[in-house]
Amino acid sequence: DSGVTQTPKHLITATGQRVTLRCSPRSGDLSVYWYQQSLDQGLQFLIHYYNGEERAKGNILERFSAQQFPDLHSELNLSSLELGDSALYFCASRGSGANTGELFFGEGSRLTVL
């Protein structure tokens, strides 16, 4: 158990719809990262938040947005969904200690767009 919690674990929806994925980082972690893993591909970096502020953006579509709330949980919003958005979405958090660059990942949210 990494300590990172993601909900929902599975989500099936239709094209054109909007969904929200939620992530609770490990206790005390200020950084939250979102990654997308499409079928048999690596993890693609989407966005990074630190203590409520956006720090870095990757290949995140304009239809996607995210935020980190004062209690440090984060939400990834996916709108106008397309078939190609079907993927595993992982959230990860990082400790603020000086000696680690390690990310701790949640179990992921599997999104299926029909």
Partner 1 sequence: DQQVKQNSPSLSVQEGRISILNCDYTNSMFDYFLWYKKYPAEGPTFLISISSIKDKNEDGRFTVFLNKSAKHLSLHIVPSQPGDSAVYFCAASASGGYNKLIFGAGTRLAVHP
Q: Is 104 a residue that touches partner 1 (CB under 8 A)?
A: yes
Residue 3: CB minimum distance to partner 1, A: 11
Query: Which tokens is 10 given?
Result: 């599975």
- Please report whether residue 56 would count as binding partner 1 according to CB under 8 A: yes
Contact 11, 41 (CB under 8 A): no
58 binds partner 1 (CB under 8 A): yes
**Which residues neighbour 8 within 8 Å (Cβ) at sequence distance 6 or greater?**
21, 109
Q: Peptide bond preceding 8: is omega within 30 degrees of 0, i.e. cis?
A: yes
Does 101 help bind partner 1 (rule: CB under 8 A)?
Answer: yes
Site for partner 1 in 34-53 (CB under 8 A): 35, 40-45, 48
Q: Is 108 in the site for partner 1 (CB under 8 A)?
A: yes
Query: Exposed, middle or buried: residue 34 (CB in 10 Å: 0-12, 13-18, 19+)?
Result: buried
Q: How many residues does the chain have?
A: 114
Q: Can you read off the two tokens belonging to residue 104?
A: 């701790």
Residue in 21, 106, 111, 113 binding partner 1, rule: CB under 8 A:
106
Question: Residues touching partner 1: how many (CB under 8 A)?
Answer: 25
Task: Enumerate binding residues for partner 1 (CB under 8 A).
Answer: 2, 4, 33, 35, 40-45, 48, 56, 58, 90, 92, 94, 100-108
